[in-house]
């Protein structure tokens, strides 16, 4: 084991999780992954191992399986948990809210209880800018009120944040970092790691890249009547590698035992859906047809981040621009048509 400690990454085969595992290894940390593979594949970890030359212990575990979690904590000397696992599609959460609450909230409660049993009190949580709900002002800073979320997915992130705040108030031995993401996109520069959802993608950029590759017919733009520059939704898009490095930077809070801290991870810049399509066309040299579709339930017209706090306290800045994000996505798409091949070999089942 390295002197830096061992990080358990829940949901570590997923998009942000796998990129973060790679950055953790390169920063000198040991890592262990648990994932139920409901929306990912072990192939992402195979490629992390290929890029780093380091074997990553991985277990197929659902966080609702408390005994399975106990076995992992018994087997590995975990020093910190990075909690990525959870259902994340905004639109689907509106249609199946109970599944989102059971999975995201129930799994987190199990995880925190097992951490307490094994006296592991260091947690970095993958939260979301959706916890801010309707903006009272923009850009969002960490002092903006939370709650009033417009969809069940956002509510699960908000409820988990509130649980962790209450846990810290009751048991100050905990060190907790809540990282609020602003729209992760992009892929690893190698073209070996990227976003590869199982089934039809729900996020904008995988849809754009699949249309450019002629795997899908056209991009559905959900709403062109928002009060924005061109009527389409405006967002702060952040390169996934920058986000991953933000998690490594957050370990400074754990090392310094700062208690509970909250940080935005974004760029502080905002682009509309149509601007993203045009930027991708520029990066790929390919026309991306689109059609206007009705607004989705729960979508906000615009939001972007104030990231001055994380820069001041942790020295973290998202330094990859929009052109690089789109170029990396297109490289990933061309090298991996159809995404990762399905793979289940090598993962250890600790659920029984």
Decide the pairing of beta strands 271-272 and 184-185: unpaired
Can you read off the two tokens belonging to residue 342? 């399905």
176 close to 168: Cβ distance less than 8 angstroms: yes
303 is written with which tokens?
């939001």
| Helix, strand, coil tally for the chain in percent (to 5) | 40, 15, 45
Hey, what's the torsion of the CAs at 44, 48, 50, 54, to 10 degrees?
-130
CA distance 253 to 244: 16
**Catalytic residue status for 132:** no
* Catalytic residue, candidates 29, 121, 132, 153: 153
Distance of CA 271 to the CA centre of its chain: 19
What is the dihedral angle through the alpha carbons of 274, 235, 221, 93, rounded to the nearest 10 degrees?
A: 170
Pairing mode of beta strands 30-35, 290-293: unpaired
Give the up-direction half-sphere exposure of residue 352: CA atoms within 13 A in the CB hemisphere. 2
Gyration radius (Cα) of the chain, Å: 19
Give the bridge partners for 264, in sequence order: 180
**What are the C-alpha distances in Å from 116 to residues 58, 60, 81?**
22, 22, 12
Q: Annotated catalytic sites, by residue?
A: 153
């Amino acid at each position: 084991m390295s002197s830096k400690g061992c990080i358990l990454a829940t949901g570590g085969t997923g998009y942000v999780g796998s990129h973060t595992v790679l950055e953790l290894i390169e920063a000198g940390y040991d890592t262990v992954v648990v994932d139920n593979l409901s929306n990912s594949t072990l192939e992402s970890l195979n490629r992390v191992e290929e890029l780093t030359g380091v074997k990553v212990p991985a277990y197929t575990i659902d966080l609702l399986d408390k005994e399975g979690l106990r076995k992992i904590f018994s087997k590995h000397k975990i020093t910190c948990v990075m909690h990525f696992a959870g259902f994340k599609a905004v639109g689907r959460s509106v249609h199946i809210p109970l599944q989102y609450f059971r999975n995201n909230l129930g799994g987190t409660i199990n995880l925190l209880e097992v951490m307490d049993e094994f006296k592991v009190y260091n947690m970095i949580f993958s939260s979301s800018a959706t916890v801010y709900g309707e903006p009272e002002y923009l850009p969002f800073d960490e002092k903006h009120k939370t709650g009033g979320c417009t969809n069940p997915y956002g509510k699960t992130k908000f409820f988990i944040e509130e649980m962790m705040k209450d846990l810290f108030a009751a048991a100050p031995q905990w060190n907790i970092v809540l990282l609020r993401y602003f729209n992760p996109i992009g892929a690893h520069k190698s073209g070996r790691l990227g976003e590869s959802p199982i089934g039809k993608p729900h996020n904008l950029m995988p849809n754009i890249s699949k249309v450019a590759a002629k795997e899908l017919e056209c991009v559905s733009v959900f709403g062109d009547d928002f009060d924005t520059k061109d009527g389409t939704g405006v967002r702060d898009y952040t390169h996934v590698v920058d986000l991953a490095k933000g998690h490594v930077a957050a370990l400074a809070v754990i090392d310094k035992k700062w208690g509970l801290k909250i940080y935005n991870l974004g760029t502080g810049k905002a682009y509309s859906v149509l601007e993203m399509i045009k930027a991708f066309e520029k990066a790929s040299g390919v026309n991306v047809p689109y059609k206007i579709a009705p607004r989705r339930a729960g979508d906000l017209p615009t939001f972007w981040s104030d990231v001055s706090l994380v820069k001041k306290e942790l020295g973290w800045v998202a330094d990859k621009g929009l052109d690089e994000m789109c170029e990396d996505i297109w490289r990933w798409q061309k090298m991996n048509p159809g995404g990762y091949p399905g793979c289940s070999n090598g993962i250890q089942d600790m659920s029984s």
